[in-house]
């Protein structure tokens, strides 16, 4: 029997064995002389269909089936080649068969540089992942999008994952670190010629933040505390990060809590002034953001999660050490001018998730009433 005497049609072998074609559903196999394969062989194919053995036909069972007789030297050769093909396929590392296409929700900011680099330089593709980045303006959108199945991964503040898990809204899993504060990366800013010339004058001010009741507001309150200003003595409103400089210039707010690259952009375009650097005092080096998924999705796709986290670690390592790559990725992803990316401040891009650092976010949430009781982050960062 020549190796291609039987040609498999849909719902047959997926392992590239000699004499077989690609998989499908509910198909047939015909001999080259036009005869339909025996019913017994058909049953073997059906028993090995999708959902029974990972969508692959058991070629060892096919080789042992009487439908492959008579046993001639040629038939024996086909059997050997078939088994060898399957063994070679099994020996190769395979991508997670459950899912390789991933949608990541991300707020456009410098903190996502590792993600942008991984996408632009093909790191995801080399790991067998097809990643689509979905830009969102409001970070509170990410978890609802995950729950509706519209995105798989969120790039966002640790507080969002902790709050959702603690409230029972969704069981979360933080799978990779993304960004931590550095000098002048996040600033409280005022307009050019603003009467607010010192932090103490922020009492009674309307301050724009990217999300109310978030890590941003917690860090804002922490920065105001040394000046005797309590959370009740300021008014916070939600404004998307890219829109903050224009809102401040138009005097729709008194001050903004802004992130790079928009800190630099606000200064260059509108002459806005830095008032407080958030990377100071108790907030120095604060862990800002990481990548989170639903715990159920992580449990269903463990290999994809591991592959994604490994790629993010490589992207962050490049962001931390390769200025040109970071600037190029941010200029492309955030549509920035070369003048902005050349001078903007940068934070820290961790290559490993540190639960001790993430616990700082949970403790700050407890301090400002976002949590009713202490929260141990091991429940969302653990193995």
Residue range 204-213, pLDDT digits in tens: 999 999 999 8
For the cut 60, the answer to whether the pLDDT of residue 31 exceeds it is: no
Of the residues 262, 282, 302, the one at which a domain ends: 282
> Do 338 and 362 have their domain in common?
yes
Q: Which pLDDT belongs to residue 97? A: 53
Residue 155 is assigned to a structural domain of this protein: yes
C-alpha R_g of the chain: 28
Instruction: Of 371, 373, 372, 352, give the one whose Cα is nearest residue 114.
Output: 352
> Do 278 and 290 have their domain in common?
no
For the cut 60, the answer to whether the pLDDT of residue 39 exceeds it is: no
Q: Which pLDDT belongs to residue 138? A: 86
Choose between 362 and 29: higher pLDDT.
362
For the cut 90, the answer to whether the pLDDT of residue 321 exceeds it is: yes
Q: Which pLDDT belongs to residue 244? A: 97
- 162-192 residue pLDDT tens: 999 999 999 999 999 999 999 999 999 999 9
Instruction: Of 185, 99, 107, give the one whose Cα is nearest residue 142.
Output: 107
* Mean of per-residue pLDDT scores for the chain: 81
> Do 208 and 276 have their domain in common?
yes
Q: Which pLDDT belongs to residue 139? A: 87
> Do 368 and 290 have their domain in common?
yes
Choose between 3 and 9: higher pLDDT.
3
Of the residues 282, 310, 327, the one at which a domain ends: 282
DSSP label at 36? B
Q: How far apart are CA 308 and CA 293, in angstroms?
A: 11
User: With bands split at pLDDT 50, 70 and 90, how would you rate the model's confidence at 78?
Assistant: very low
For the cut 90, the answer to whether the pLDDT of residue 373 exceeds it is: yes
Q: How far apart are CA 316 and CA 148, in angstroms?
A: 29
* CATH of residue 249: 3.40.190.10
Q: Are 342 and 326 in contact (CB under 8 A)?
A: no
For the cut 50, the answer to whether the pLDDT of residue 89 exceeds it is: no
> Do 304 and 158 have their domain in common?
yes
Residue 1 is assigned to a structural domain of this protein: no
Choose between 168 and 67: higher pLDDT.
168
Residues 43-58 have a mean pLDDT of 37
For 213, the domain range is 186-282
Helix (H), strand (E) at residue 147: helix 142-147
Q: Which pLDDT belongs to residue 94? A: 41
> Do 111 and 163 have their domain in common?
yes
Please state whether 6 falls in left (phi above 0), alpha (psi between -120 and 50) or beta: beta
Both tokens assigned to 227: 């000046």
Residue 274 is assigned to a structural domain of this protein: yes
Q: Are 319 and 349 in contact (CB under 8 A)?
A: yes
Q: What is the number of structural domains in the chain?
A: 3
- HSE-CB of 180 using CA atoms within 13 angstroms: 21
Total-model pTM: 0.72
Q: How far apart are CA 381 and CA 383, in angstroms?
A: 7
């Amino acid at each position: 029997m020549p190796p291609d005497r039987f040609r498999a049609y849909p719902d047959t072998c997926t392992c590239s064995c000699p004499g077989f074609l690609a998989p499908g559903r509910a198909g047939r196999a015909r001999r080259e002389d036009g005869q339909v394969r025996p019913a017994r062989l058909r049953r073997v194919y059906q028993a090995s269909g999708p959902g029974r053995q990972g969508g692959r036909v058991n070629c060892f069972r096919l080789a042992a089936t009487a439908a492959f007789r008579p046993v001639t030297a040629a038939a024996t050769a086909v059997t050997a080649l078939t088994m060898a093909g399957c063994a070679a396929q099994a020996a190769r590392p395979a991508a997670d068969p459950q899912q390789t296409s991933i949608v990541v929700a991300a707020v456009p900011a410098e903190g996502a540089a590792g993600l942008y680099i991984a996408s632009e330089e093909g790191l995801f593709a080399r790991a067998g992942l097809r990643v689509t980045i979905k830009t969102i303006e409001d970070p509170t959108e990410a978890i609802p999008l995950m729950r509706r199945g519209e995105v798989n991964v969120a790039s966002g503040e640790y507080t969002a994952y902790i709050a959702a898990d603690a409230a029972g809204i969704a069981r979360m899993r933080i799978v990779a670190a993304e960004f931590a504060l550095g000098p002048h990366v996040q600033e409280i800013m005022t307009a050019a010629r603003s009467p607010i010339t010192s932090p103490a004058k922020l009492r009674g001010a309307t301050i724009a933040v990217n999300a109310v009741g978030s890590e941003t507001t917690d860090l804002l309150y922490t920065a105001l505390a040394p000046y005797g200003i309590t959370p009740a003595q300021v008014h916070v409103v939600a404004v998307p990060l890219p829109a903050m400089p224009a809102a401040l210039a138009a005097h729709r707010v008194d001050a903004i809590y802004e992130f790079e690259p928009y800190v630099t952009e606000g200064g260059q375009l509108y002459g806005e002034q830095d008032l407080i650097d958030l990377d100071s005092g108790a907030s120095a080096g604060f862990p800002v953001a990481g990548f989170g998924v639903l715990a159920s999705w992580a449990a269903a796709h463990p290999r994809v999660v591991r592959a994604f986290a490994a790629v993010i670690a490589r992207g962050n390592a490049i962001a931390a050490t390769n200025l040109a790559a970071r600037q190029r990725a941010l200029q492309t992803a955030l549509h920035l001018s070369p003048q902005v990316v050349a001078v903007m401040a940068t934070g820290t891009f961790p290559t490993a998730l540190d639960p001790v650092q993430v616990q700082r976010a949970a403790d700050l949430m407890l301090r400002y009433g976002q949590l009713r009781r202490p929260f141990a982050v091991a429940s969302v960062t653990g193995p």
